[in-house]
Amino acid sequence: MTTALTKSLGILTKPIREAQLSNGQSPQTALVSALQRNLSELRERMSGDEELEEARHLLEEVRRDITWFCSDTNDLTWSFVQECLLLLLCLARHFNRLLEAFHQIPAVPNPATPEAAPPLPPDVLSVAQQKTLGTVLQFVVTLGLCPYLAPGVGVALGLRSAFGAAVEGAVRHDVAPAGERRLLITTNVLLEVSALSSLATPVFTRHLGDIMAALCQLAYRPQRPEGDGTKGNKGLTVEERKTCKEALHSLLGKVYQPIVIKELLVLQGGPKQACSGSRGGCAGGGGKALAQAPPWLRRLCGQLLSDRLIQPQGVQAVVRAILEGTGGGDSDWRKCDAVAKILAACPQQSLSAESYYSQVCPQVLELLHFKDKLTAQQFQRVATRAALIMVQDRPEFAQRFLLFPLLSPLRRCAQGTGDDLSQDTVEEWELTRCIEDVYKICVVGNNPSEVLLKALADVISTLFNLFCFTKQNVSHLRTSCQEILIWCLSHSERSVALLLLKRLCGLLGEVGGVRHGFQFSPGSEGGARLTVRELISDEDDALYEKVSGEQWRVQCLVELLGEVKDSDLPGEFFLLLLQDLTAVAAEQDEVEQEVDTSSMTLLELEQHLLGRAGGHGQGLALLQALAIMCEGLPHTLLLSKPTQVVGFIASMLQRACVSLEHGTDSPVESQTLSMGMGLVATLLSGAAELTADDYSSMAALLPHLEQISQQHQETVIQELASDLRATIATHGAYHPKTVPKTASQHSTTTHSPAQPAGHSSNSLPARAQVPSQSISHPKHKTDPSVTPKVKDFQTAGRIPNPGISESSRSKAFSECLLEACDPDVPTRAVALRSLTRCVRDGDKEALQNKEKLLTLFLENLEHEDSFVYLSAIQGLAVLADSFPEQILQRLLGEYQTGATVCPPKRERSLETRLKVGEVLMRACRAMGDLAPHYGRPLIGVFLSGTRDEDSSVRASSLSNLGELCQRLNFSLGPLAQELSTCLTALIKTDREAEVRRAAVHVIALVLRGLSDKTTQVLGDVLLELYRALKWVVRSDPDDVAVLHAQLALEELDDVMRRFIFPQQKLEKKIVVLP
C-alpha cells in the first residue's frame, strides 16, 4: 500500500519534459498543461492498474469522509492540489493503521541473535519515497498555500524562484472555492498529516514558515466585508478562526524554539530591506526587496516573540536563533550588541516591566555558564552587554533581579540565612560561578556605572577575604578576584576608593566579609567553599590567629596595590595614611592628659577604658599598614607625581607642627622636621625645574613653614623656615643663600626623600626605633615610565641628617648591642634584626665584633618568644655565610655535644639544639657552590647525629643532611656507600615515624639534587636505595613515609628514563682529520 501511494504521488509530480516546452508556450501554459496531463494519467492508472487498486479504494474512502472536496472547480491548479492533499491523507491514514497494528503486537526478540537491531516501524520511508514526498509537499505549498497569502504575509513566490513567478500567473483567484477557504483547507491537511512523526519532519523542516504565515493570516487577519454576499466569498467563521489560533499556539510550542523565532522574525518584516538568501534567493538574483508586513502581523509577531522570550530558556532560544551560524568578526559583534539591546528593553506587549525583568534576568545570567567554546563566547558577549545595559537603563530592576542573584553567594558568606549553621555553608561551585560571572560582567564588559560599583562595594570585604585566602593556597580564583578588586578600586570615585582601602586595612573597625564562626576552605576542584570554623579553646592561639590574619590581609592589600597600573591610588592612599598618623599622634597626646575617673560610674569607666584601648588598636593598625606599604611598594609607585612628593613633605611638616604645639621634642620629631625642610630646600635649589603648577601645589606648605618659623626654639630653623616660605610664595623670585646651602649639606647623605623605609622607620615610637645611621637602605629601581621631573624630585633631594660621623655610628652600634639584651621583646627583636642587617651590609664595626655578635645570637636562641629566637637564627645564618670557617666550627660543636663550647660549660636544652640545627640548615642552603669545600665536617656531624638517643635530633640531622647532600654533586661519590648504609638502616630499623620520613626524604632530595648525575655518583648504591624505597612502599605503616617514598621513586624514575632514553639533539659535529 505504501508503495502504491508513493507511486501515485510520483505520477502526479512527474516533471515537465523539455520537448513539451519547445513549441514556444509560456511558462504558465506549460505548467497548466503538465498538471492536466499528470492528473489524467493518474486517473487512468487508478482505474486500470491492479497495483493501484488498493490505493484507489483508500482514496475513495477518504474522499467520502471529507467535506471540503470541490469537484466542479474551474481552477486546474486547485484540482491538482486537492488530489495531492487526498493522497497525503491516504498515506497518513494508512500509516496510522500500520502503527496501531505494530504497537498491538510486540516484537519478539530473536534469542539466536540478541544483538540484532529492533525492527523498524512501518512508517519509515525510503530515500526515494522521501524525495517524492518532499516534491509533493512543495507543490502543495506552492500551489495551494502561498498564492493565497495576503501581500506582506510571508515571502512572496516571486521572490523565491522563477517557478514561483510562473505559479502566480497560473493560479485563478476568481473561481470557487475562495482563496481564504483554499488556504484553510491546505493548512488543516498539512497539520493533520504532520501529526505523524515520519511525515512531520519533511513538512516542518521545509515549510514551517509558510504554515505559520497561513495560520497567522487565518487566525488574526482582520475580517473583510462580506462582499457580494455569495457563500463562496464569505470569510471564516469564529469557530474556524479559534481553531486556527489554537493550532498556531500548539505548533509554536512543539517546534524547536530557535527555528520558531527565526520564522517569526522573517514574518515580522519591518522596514524595507534587501532580500537575503535564507529563503531561496531572489528571482533572477536581482536583489528585490521584501514587502513590508502589515501592521496587524507586525503586532502579532511582536507579541509571539515576547511570549517566546519570557518562557523558560526563552532568552537562550532568541540568542541561538539570531547568532547560530555566525563565524565571528565585526558583524558578529554587532549582532551580539543588537540582541543584548533587545533583551534589555522591555517589550510593549509585556504586562509589566517588573514581571518581564524578573523572568529575563535569571536567564541572562544562565547565558554565562555555557561550556562549549564558540557558543560560550557568543553567549557571554550577549549576556555581558545585556546586563550592563540593564544596569545603566533600568537600575532599579537590575539591582533586584540581576545584581542581587549575581552576588548572592558573596552576601551569604557575610550574612548567613538563619540559625542552622549547616544551611549557611556556601559550596565551591556557587563561589566559583559567582566570581566567574562577576569577572565577565565587570572586567570583561568594562563599563563601570554607579549602581554596579555600589553593588560591588557592598561585598568587597567578602571578595577581599576570598582573595586573601587564595593567596595562601593554589587556587584558580586568585587572578579573577584580583582583577575584580583592581577594577572596582580603579573605577570608583577616588574618595570612595580610599574609604574602601581603609576598610580593607581594618582602619575603620572590623573588616568583616565572613560571618562569625565560618571560614573559607579549599575546594576539591581548586576553588574555595565556606565552611564552619573549628573552635579554638586556647585564648593565646585565638589571639595569634587573629593578629596574623590581620597582618596577612594588609600584606595582600599592599600586593594588590602594587598591581594597580597607571593610577595615583597607591600614592594617595599612602599620603592619607600619613595624615591619619599625624591625627592619631595628636589624639594620643590629648588622651594622655589626666582624666578624673573618680566621679565615673563603672559603666562609664569601662567605656572610657575600652575607648582608649580601641584608639591604641587603631593606631597600631595604622602603623602596621604604613610599615608594610613602605616595605612592599617601591617609592616610584608611592610617590609617582610631584604633587604627591609635596604631599609627603606636607605630612612630615604637619607632624613636626603637632609636636611643636604640644611642646614635645623627641629625636623622631627633630629628624622628621629636618627631613621635611631639607627636601623643600632641595626642590627649591634648582635640582629640578619647577613650573607654576608645582609652585601652586607647594602652597600647602606655607602654613606649616610659618608655624615653624614662629614656634620653633632654634633661631636657625626659624630663619630657614621663613626663607623657604618666602621662596615658595614668590615662586622662586626671592632666593636667599640659606636655601642652596641647606640643600648642598643634605645632598651628602644617602637617603632619598621618597624612600618609604626611612619614613616608616621615623614614624615608629622612639623605643622601637633602630638608628637609621646603622642601616643601609636598599635603593628601589626607578620606573622608566616616570617623568624626568619626578625622577629629579625623587633623587636630587636627600634626607637632611647633618653631623653623622664615625662616633655616632659607633654609638648606634653600641645601642643596638644594649637593646639586644633588653627585656622588652619588640625592642630586643628589632635590635637583633638591625645587627643582622649590619653584618649583611658589611658594616665595619659589626664585622670586627663578630665574636660578640655570635655569643649574643647564641644566647638569644634560648629565648621563649619566636620573634626573638627567629631573629637570632637569622643572625647566626648571616654570620655563618660571612665567616663560614670560624662560625660553622662553633655551631657544629654546639650541635654535636648539646653543650656550650666556650667556658663556662653548660648543657643546652633540646629545643636550643634543634634551633642550632635550623641555623646549620640555612647555612647549607646559602653555601651554593662552596658546599663541597665546607661540607665535609658537616656531613660527619650530621651522620653522627643520626645515632642520637632523641628522635627529634635524629630527624633534624637527617633534614640537614638532605639539604647538604643535594648540593655536593660529585663530591658525594666517596661518601655514597656510608650514606646509603645509614639511610637504609634507619628506614628499616628506626621505630619513630618522623625519623623514617626524614630518611626517605633525604633520598628524594639527593636524587633531585644530582638529577642527571645520579647514575655516575650513586651508581654503586642505586640498587640498594631503590630496594629500600620499595620496602617502604610495601611494608611501612606510616602513610607520610610511604608518600615520601613514592615521590622519591618518581624522581628516580625520571632520572632513569632520561638515562635510558636521552633526548635527541639535532646538532652538527665538525671533525678535523689528521
Distance CA 425, CA 446 (A): 31
* Contacts for 412 with CB less than 8 Å, ≥ 6 apart: 424, 426, 530
Q: Report the Cα 219 to chain-centroid distance in Å.
A: 51
Which contacts of 129-132 are long-range, i.e. CB under 8 A and separated by 24 or more positions?
Answer: 129/2, 129/6, 130/202, 132/6, 132/9, 132/10, 132/13
Give the residue from 65, 61, 58, 20 showing the smallest Cα distance to 38: 20
* Contacts for 6 with CB less than 8 Å, ≥ 6 apart: 91, 125, 129, 132, 133
Give the residue from 762, 801, 796 showing the smallest Cα distance to 782: 796
- Integer CA distances (angstroms), 756 to 190, 574, 650, in order: 83, 10, 15
pLDDT 10s digits, 531-587: 888 888 788 888 888 888 888 888 999 999 888 887 888 888 888 888 887 777 666
Give the residue from 644, 678, 506 showing the smallest Cα distance to 576: 644
* Contacts for 136 with CB less than 8 Å, ≥ 6 apart: 9, 12, 13, 84, 87, 88
Distance CA 697, CA 680 (A): 12
Residue with cell 565560618: 518
Residue 65 parent element (H or E): helix 53-65
- Dmax (CA) for the chain in angstroms is 135
Distance CA 353, CA 274 (A): 34
* Contacts for 579 with CB less than 8 Å, ≥ 6 apart: 651, 654
Q: Are 801 and 671 in contact (CB under 8 A)?
A: yes
Give the residue from 954, 977, 979 showing the smallest Cα distance to 964: 979
Q: Are 684 and 732 in contact (CB under 8 A)?
A: yes
pLDDT 10s digits, 673-690: 777 777 777 777 765 567
Q: Running DSSP on this structure, what letter comes out for residue 528? A: E
Give the count of alpha carbons within 13 A of 709, CB side only. 14
C-alpha cell at 823: 627585656
Strand partners, 289: 274
Give the residue from 640, 457, 464, 696 showing the smallest Cα distance to 558: 464
Burial profile 229-242: b = 16 or more Cβ within 10 angstroms, e = fewer? eeeebebbeeebbe
Q: What is the dihedral of CA 513, 517, 523, 528, to 10 degrees?
A: 0
Give the residue from 827, 797, 801 showing the smallest Cα distance to 815: 827
Provide the 3-class DSSP secondary structure of residue 788: helix
Which contacts of 953-956 are long-range, i.e. CB under 8 A and separated by 24 or more positions?
Answer: 953/910, 953/913, 953/914, 953/917, 954/986, 954/990, 954/992, 954/995, 954/998, 955/992, 955/994, 955/995, 955/997, 955/998, 956/914, 956/917, 956/918
Rg (CA), the chain: 45
Burial profile 843-853: b = 16 or more Cβ within 10 angstroms, e = fewer? beebeebeeeb
Predicted local confidence at residue 464, as pLDDT? 92
Distance CA 310, CA 313 (A): 8
Question: Strand 528-532 vs strand 518-522: parallel, antiparallel, or unpaired?
Answer: antiparallel
Q: Are 675 and 652 in contact (CB under 8 A)?
A: yes
C-alpha cell at 1057: 628514563
Q: Are 52 and 5 in contact (CB under 8 A)?
A: no
Predicted local confidence at residue 789, as pLDDT? 37
Within 10 angstroms of residue 750's Cβ, the number of other Cβ atoms is 13
Q: Are 214 and 149 in contact (CB under 8 A)?
A: yes
Q: Running DSSP on this structure, what letter comes out for residue 289? A: B
The pTM (predicted TM-score) of the whole model is 0.61
Give the count of alpha carbons within 13 A of 221, CB side only. 25
Residue with cell 531561496: 280
Burial profile 937-973: b = 16 or more Cβ within 10 angstroms, e = fewer? ebbebbbebbebeeebbbbbbbbbbbbbbbbbbebbe
Distance CA 545, CA 554 (A): 14
Predicted local confidence at residue 587, as pLDDT? 60
Burial profile 1028-1058: b = 16 or more Cβ within 10 angstroms, e = fewer? bbeebbeebebeebbebbebbbebbeebeee
- Residue 426 sits at φ, ψ, to 5 deg, of -115, 125
Give the residue from 681, 656, 675, 835 showing the smallest Cα distance to 759: 675
* Contacts for 991 with CB less than 8 Å, ≥ 6 apart: none
Distance CA 573, CA 561 (A): 10
Answer whether the bond into residue 904 is a cis peptide, omega within 30°: yes
Distance CA 357, CA 346 (A): 8
Predicted local confidence at residue 752, as pLDDT? 35
Distance CA 705, CA 739 (A): 14
Q: Which residues of the chain have pLDDT under 50?
A: 18-19, 21-22, 226-233, 273-287, 329-330, 592, 747-809, 811
HEC per residue, 732-777: CCCCCCHHHHHHHHHCCCCCCCCCHHHHHHHCCCHHHCCCHHHCCC
Strand partners, 519: 531
Predicted local confidence at residue 429, as pLDDT? 92
